[in-house]
Chain A
Amino acid sequence: MVAETAADRRWASESVPFLGPGKLGCPPELPPRAPVYTSRRPQMSVPQPSKAPLLPRIAAGDGEAVSDFIDRYKNLVWWLARQLASDADAEDAVQEIFVDLWSSADRYDPQRSSEPAFVAMIARRRLIDRRRRTGRRPAESSLEDLEVELAGSGLAAVEAAAEAALAGDAIRRLDEKERRVLSLAVYQGLSHSEIADFTRLPLGTVKTYVRRGLSRVREMLGAGSGTAEEPG
């Protein structure tokens, strides 16, 4: 049972818009609204960032693309590792992530996602796996301590605009509690049972919120076959 703190009480009582890591209560500055796809599958491939993807060149054996790739994504990978791994693990995790990226280069499909989203997926996969195995997680901090701005000055606003904008749209349409739960699951990397402890919601409810929220983001992105039923 988690001892109630001021953050807990605020969490329970205030209507808080969806936030990534940021100041509690501050209105988020969301990416520009993206066109809404009316069909389950978009008519065209996901718009690519202005820079051409490098993974296809790496998959084809172009070693020179590797250096450019490191330049382009090193900070994104480091940022994700600092979010989802402990300080002691972040550097090791980053090295493992890049090995995963080299071995996954031939799996990247520009029709399915932008390259930054693919890189973030591979990184998150490794970080989640490490967290499960080591049981170590980032130093916990209350939402009040998170001082990172939500201004559109980072990677999402510039490079991964397509998926980030669509995901932002889907998130805005979620119920307030669903947004909070999804935020804790994705940004903070909390397990579903940890979220249940923190929010005092039943575990089943947390799972439903996570599944519903992610399903709606997925639908908005128009990924997959579209034959899956939305769970819960």
Chain B
Amino acid sequence: MTEARLSELLIDRATEGLDPAAELELSELLALGASFDPDAYELAAAAVHLTSAFPLQAMPAALEQAIRRQAMQVFGDKAAAPGARLLPLTPRLAAASRPTASASQRGASSQSRASRPWLPWTLAAASLLLAVVGWWPEPRPAGPDLAPQVAAAPSLADVLAAPDVRVIPWSPTADPAAQGAGGDVVWSTRLQAGFMRFQHLAPNQPRDAQFQLWIFDRNQDERYPIDGGVFDVGPGAEVVVPIDAKLAVAAPTLFAITIEKPGGVVVSSRERLVLVATVA
């Protein structure tokens, strides 16, 4: 029965995708250790897709350049096309040396992304002052499981009522925009929804820069945290912003706010880290 249900969920994921409740169920079933290749059906769907043998449309040149620039951010200037003259988004990234990785090392070895050493997220969070007192209403005691009844966009009240709700205070960094800033983040993995509350965060000029949320997940490579959405902060003592996670968040470990160019980025240089909230 379990394996039949597992098959159903994997096939649904391979074709139409899964809602958060089904994703959670799938994670739980896979965690039971079934002898199952979790990618088998997605590979099958990919194979079906590849049977449609027709001429491929060329990727637009501007998009290709953007992909290459992005690759340079990740891999350094060796990722540049031979003979290409590419201007990286952040010149210092291109100049950063990258250690040679041995074949036994999985993934890219740690790399310097700027001319100064990169401070691990968790170390930065641990060294900061915690001076935030939350005023969220106390989460209601766990009651009936509301998840199946909640609409696609849970409200703040829905999130606070979720049995797995987490309320995590922000810790400001030394970035000027974070001076005196605080607040907290509420998140429910079951609902795949959350909100951020900011106090005294310096307002941004949207045409110059925007804030972007990154969600670090235990199951995700920490080099590529989940994009939690781009947002603006106006003048005022307090702002509440809904979280717009681009991927399912299974086991969040840390929420982080950076300042990015308007529209946000796919991969952050992390040069302007403003607030972090570590999930205990």
Question: What's the interface size class on A, roughly?
Answer: 35 or more
Taking chain A's interface residues, is the majority helix, strand, or loop, or is none over half, making it mixed? helix
B54 touches A151 (CB 8 A): yes
Given known A163-B50, A223-B37, contact A154–B44 (CB-CB < 8 A)? no
Question: What's the interface size class on B, roughly?
Answer: 35 or more
Selected from B16, B51, B57, the residue in CB contact (under 8 A) with A75 is B57
In the assembled complex, the Cα of A186 lies from the Cα of B48 at a distance in Å of 7
Judge whether A103 is part of the interface by a CB distance below 8 angstroms.
yes
In the assembled complex, the Cα of A198 lies from the Cα of B86 at a distance in Å of 47
> Closest B-chain residue to A132, C-beta based?
B17
A150 touches B50 (CB 8 A): no
Which residues does chain B contribute within 8 Å of A207, judged by CB atoms? 8, 12
Judge whether B149 is part of the interface by a CB distance below 8 angstroms.
no
Which residues does chain B contribute within 8 Å of A131, judged by CB atoms? 17
A151 touches B266 (CB 8 A): no
Judge whether A166 is part of the interface by a CB distance below 8 angstroms.
yes
Tally A-B pairs: CB < 8 A: 266
Q: Nearest-CB distance from B13 to chain A (Å)?
A: 8
**Which one of B61-69, B140-148, B174-182, B208-216 is at the A interface?**
B61-69
> Closest B-chain residue to A105, C-beta based?
B107
Judge whether A24 is part of the interface by a CB distance below 8 angstroms.
no
In the assembled complex, the Cα of A149 lies from the Cα of B42 at a distance in Å of 25
B67 touches A214 (CB 8 A): no
Selected from A29, A70, A78, A217, the residue in CB contact (under 8 A) with B56 is A78
Given known A74-B64, A103-B221, contact A153–B55 (CB-CB < 8 A)? yes
Given known A151-B54, A163-B46, contact A98–B17 (CB-CB < 8 A)? no
Which residues does chain A contribute within 8 Å of B74, judged by CB atoms? 99, 102
Which residues does chain B contribute within 8 Å of A149, judged by CB atoms? 54-55
| Interfacial residues of chain B within 16-46, with CB under 8 A of chain A in the complex | 16-19, 34-37, 39-46
Q: Nearest-CB distance from A157 to chain B (Å)?
A: 5
Judge whether A51 is part of the interface by a CB distance below 8 angstroms.
no
In the assembled complex, the Cα of A82 lies from the Cα of B221 at a distance in Å of 27
| Interfacial residues of chain B within 92-135, with CB under 8 A of chain A in the complex | 98, 100-103, 105-109
Could you list 27 examples of A-B contacts with CB < 8 Å? Answer: A21-B52, A60-B105, A63-B77, A66-B78, A75-B59, A92-B266, A99-B266, A112-B37, A112-B39, A132-B17, A132-B19, A133-B246, A149-B55, A151-B54, A156-B51, A163-B43, A163-B46, A164-B51, A164-B53, A167-B50, A186-B45, A214-B11, A223-B43, A228-B4, A228-B6, A229-B4, A231-B7
